[in-house]
Structure 1
Amino acid sequence: MPPNTDGPKSSLGFKYPSLRDCHLKTCDNWLEGKRIDDNINGLWRIHDKLYDFSDFINLHPGGKDWLILTKGTDITEAFECHHLNGKAENLLGKYLKKSANFPRQSPFTFQENGFYRTLKKRVQNEIKNIPESYSHKSKMIIDTIFVIFMITSLLANSQKSYFFGIIAGVSLNFLAIAAHNFFHQKDNFRMYYFDLTLMSSRDWRVSHALSHHLFPNTINDLEISALEPFLQYLPHQKNFVARYLSWIYSPIFYTVVFTASSIRMIVQLIKYKKLPRKENFLPILYFFLIYFGSNITFMETLKTFFFIQSVASLFFGIIGINAAHHHPDIFHDGDASRSQTNLDWGIHQLDAVMDRKEILGSHFWVLLSFGDHGLHHLFPTIDHGKLGKLYPILQKTCKEFGVELKLNTIWGLTFGQFKQLSRIEPNRKPLKTIL
């Protein structure tokens, strides 16, 4: 499908992504388009070298899915931010095939003495000193929420109670957000809590971890394009409905995200002739657990099930959309760029993020509301519980490089995302380095 020439343009120098305007905007379509654009014939690209990791797929410590999903693509950004101990770099020589003979599609750089590499070295040294008890606390929190979710789901169904249904829905929302912490990490059972939402942890490893996290607020960000045309966050010409009526219908849109994701996943499985994964059956297992655990009819249980999913979807949308990325003072593709030839990837991450003041320093709320967002984007595999301990290093490095760590309030970001929906004019002045 040819690019939509009326769609948003990249001010960072990205080629308009192949298949971006497909009617069904799925993870597999995004990956297929990326393989077309990266054009490396089934290999993996890191910087200007091409590798064949086929024999390493089943040995990959993070789980084989990461390499299966990214085969045939440029994984430079993912490789840089997902590996912090230096071991991965030492293995690369064994799998090297050849040098690439054309530049990367991505405009982002990782210079040795640049912002991100400097920060990464400091974090590599500091992370060793942070006790594992912070990660254990994250696990305790998410497991407790899972228990609350199951108990309140049973009560909602057996008592036909909207009150317990709302508690179960809010709990499922928090369970999904906390599970997001774990699907960024190596394979573990807690990442599959996410699949109880009718969404797919596997698909979110693509749309969130490999697309949104690596290319936030750009035309390569699937979390931007998948919302279009209903919610249009990039600054370009939009009609009245997209600019202003979206303020009204967006909460309604949020309530159906989980169900719509499930339908899209089914269509995706059919299109690509794939069998469902084991975790795709978790919502069905959950449904029958509350059905057999309550003396209620099948149809009443189905009603309870979708009520809980809708409540969870609404809160997940409200929290997720307003968490960090959408405000007129945050970079969105189309805005003037700092540089198209030497744009440090880490600096772009902070340009595309604002953190909420109210939850800084709270392990509980950081885990349950996409907190410490800037640090999380820079180092997605580090447990959320440990991120707060890295602020002194981040602040020191930001000061040295003149980079702003942007903060706002919850309400400031909430109102800001509505302003961003209505924005059609790009910011003409690039974000400045603070000296």
Structure 2
Amino acid sequence: MIGRESQSFKDFFINLFNVIIQNNPFELLEKPKSTIGIKNYPNLRDHPLHSPEIWLEGKRKDDNLSGLWRIHNKLYDFNDFIKIHPGGKDWLELTKGTDITEAFESNHISTLPEAFLPKYFIKTINTPRNSPFTFDKNDLYQTLKKNVRNEINKSSELIKSLQNKTKLITDGLLLMFILTTSGCLLKESYLLGAISGLLLTLTSIAAHNFFHQRDNFRRFYFDLTTMSSKSWRISHALSHHLYTNTVYDFEISALEPFFQYLTMKKNITVRYLSWIYTPIVYGLLYLGYFIRMCIQNVLDKKLFNTESYLPFILWTFLSIITNQSIFVSMKMFVWVYLVSSFFVGVIGLNAGHHHPDVFHDGDYFESKSGIDWGLYQILAAMDRTETHKSHFWGLITFGDHIMHHLFPSLDHGALMFLYPTVEDTLKQFGIKLRTNSTFQVAKGQFLQLSKVSVQI
């Protein structure tokens, strides 16, 4: 009798699963199409795990470079350069076998790296790049880089002081997170736990400033969230920043099918019910990321990176010094991380990329000879008025988004100083940075989820 009941339960859940699959309310009705000229639909884009490592594996297949690095139409062998790369070995190890044109151009403001390239040159390649982006000498982005480079060289001491201010803010946020976490454990306080969760969010966002840069210990503050700064160097720095709002943007594809931001056919569930389940998804971002990271480590047959243990080491240490029970510590841990995950979703997904007036692949775009990469970055983002040109608020809320996308490896403090130079250059090209209120940007994110038609 018990066996038959167990079997009936099993059959029930199998049948339920089949019904859900056959009537998937989140199903992609079509594969998103690139309207800016990305030549091939990305390999492994729709892999069910949606991990940064799998995205990178797909890009290697797309670029097909046999373990070399491509910059524009030239191939290089940087194997001997990996260990001495000034930015750290991560960047070259991760990008081996891929086209790094966008990464090379946007992360090197100085002309010095170009001088080293001939030493590692292998051959010229005639195969067209998958990417449609251009970096012509007299076009917008190269002109911006030249003017910014000159300004940095003239004001290096002032910029250094602004960078020190960034470090001070980031370290201060970490200290406040540790103190409020200790308080919430001592008092078993959900209020202090909520404040701790918010401070963890702000600390991780500030730390995001540092994982774009050369290797440094502050980038590991980001790992306190249970997310990996190394994986985010793939998903955020090497995907989202370089191919923003396109079919190659991991931060778009990783949220599918629940959030479908690109302009394409969408079913009613995704278009409108997403407005309701959005807060739930925000709260589960950390958990989903951690589970995916565990699965990826099993697939790769490797242990976690050392920094992946940081949140658990810190939490265990604080639980010991506050003499708190395991049950209370686990309960407060879950609460703090649910709150932090929610705020990361709220701030991150409303940072300025998702609005009907911001370009998304699938929107109408006419170009016969590619598009200047810098111009595209301006089209694919919108700044929030309340955090615009503020060192502190920009650092902790993904503010000054367009400037950060144009020069991702520059410190947020340097970005504040460089606004006049950038705006004067843009004026020469008849371009102005777009801003909107935080409310309108957040509202636009939901309007973009429901958008199915192209903008002309």
TM-score with structure 2 setting the length: 0.92
The count of aligned residue pairs is 425
1: CA distance, partners of 2:442 / 2:246: 20
Query: Per-residue CA shift, 1:326-380, capped at 9, x if unaligned?
Result: 0000000001124252300000000001011111232110100011111100100
CA contact (8 A) 1:176 1:194 kept: yes
Task: State the 1:296 CA deviation.
Answer: 1.9
Alignment RMSD: 1.1
Aligned to 1:24: 49
User: In structure 2, which of residues 91, 98, 101 is the aligned counterpart of residue 66 of structure 1?
Assistant: 91
Query: Per-residue CA shift, 1:269-313, capped at 9, x if unaligned?
Result: 111122211101101111211210222211210111111111011
1: CA distance, partners of 2:423 / 2:392: 22
Q: Do the aligned partners of residues 123 and 301 (structure 1) sit closer, same or farther apart at CA in structure 2, a change above 3 Å counting?
A: same
The equivalences for 1:260-409 within 5 A come to 260-409=288-437
Which amino acid in the other structure matches residue 197 of structure 1?
A: T
2: CA distance, partners of 1:308 / 1:5: 37
CA contact (8 A) 1:85 1:124 kept: yes
2: CA distance, partners of 1:105 / 1:412: 34
Aligned to 2:32: 8
Which amino acid in the other structure matches residue 18 of structure 1?
A: N
Aligned to 1:111: 136
Runs of 4+, deviation exceeding 4 Å: none
Structure 1 residue runs without a partner (length 5+):
430-435
Task: State the 1:406 CA deviation.
Answer: 1.1
CA contact (8 A) 2:196 2:336 kept: yes
Query: Per-residue CA shift, 1:134-168, capped at 9, x if unaligned?
Result: 00000000101111000110111121100110110
TM-score with structure 1 setting the length: 0.96
Aligned to 1:75: 100
Does 1:36 find its partner at 2:64? no
Aligned sequence identity (%): 52
Task: State the 1:397 CA deviation.
Answer: 1.8
CA contact (8 A) 1:235 1:424 kept: yes
Q: Do the aligned partners of residues 379 and 211 (structure 1) sit closer, same or farther apart at CA in structure 2, a change above 3 Å counting?
A: same
1: CA distance, partners of 2:60 / 2:432: 34
2: CA distance, partners of 1:339 / 1:357: 31
The DSSP-based 3-state class of the residue aligned with 1:234 is coil
User: In structure 2, which of residues 192, 195, 213 is the aligned counterpart of residue 167 of structure 1?
Assistant: 195
Aligned to 1:410: 438
CA contact (8 A) 1:26 1:264 kept: yes
Query: Per-residue CA shift, 1:34-74, capped at 9, x if unaligned?
Result: 00110111000000000000000000000000000000000
CA contact (8 A) 1:323 1:369 kept: yes
Does 1:84 find its partner at 2:109? yes
Which amino acid in the other structure matches residue 105 of structure 2?
A: E
The DSSP-based 3-state class of the residue aligned with 2:200 is helix
Task: State the 1:6 CA deviation.
Answer: 1.9
CA contact (8 A) 1:8 1:234 kept: yes
Q: Do the aligned partners of residues 226 and 9 (structure 1) sit closer, same or farther apart at CA in structure 2, a change above 3 Å counting?
A: same
User: In structure 2, which of residues 253, 264, 280 is the aligned counterpart of residue 236 of structure 1?
Assistant: 264
CA contact (8 A) 1:107 1:340 kept: no
The DSSP-based 3-state class of the residue aligned with 2:122 is strand
The DSSP-based 3-state class of the residue aligned with 1:55 is coil
1: CA distance, partners of 2:330 / 2:92: 37
Which amino acid in the other structure matches residue 90 of structure 2?
A: D
Which amino acid in the other structure matches residue 300 of structure 2?
A: Y
1: CA distance, partners of 2:234 / 2:367: 27
2: CA distance, partners of 1:338 / 1:214: 20
Aligned to 1:432: none
1: CA distance, partners of 2:301 / 2:307: 18
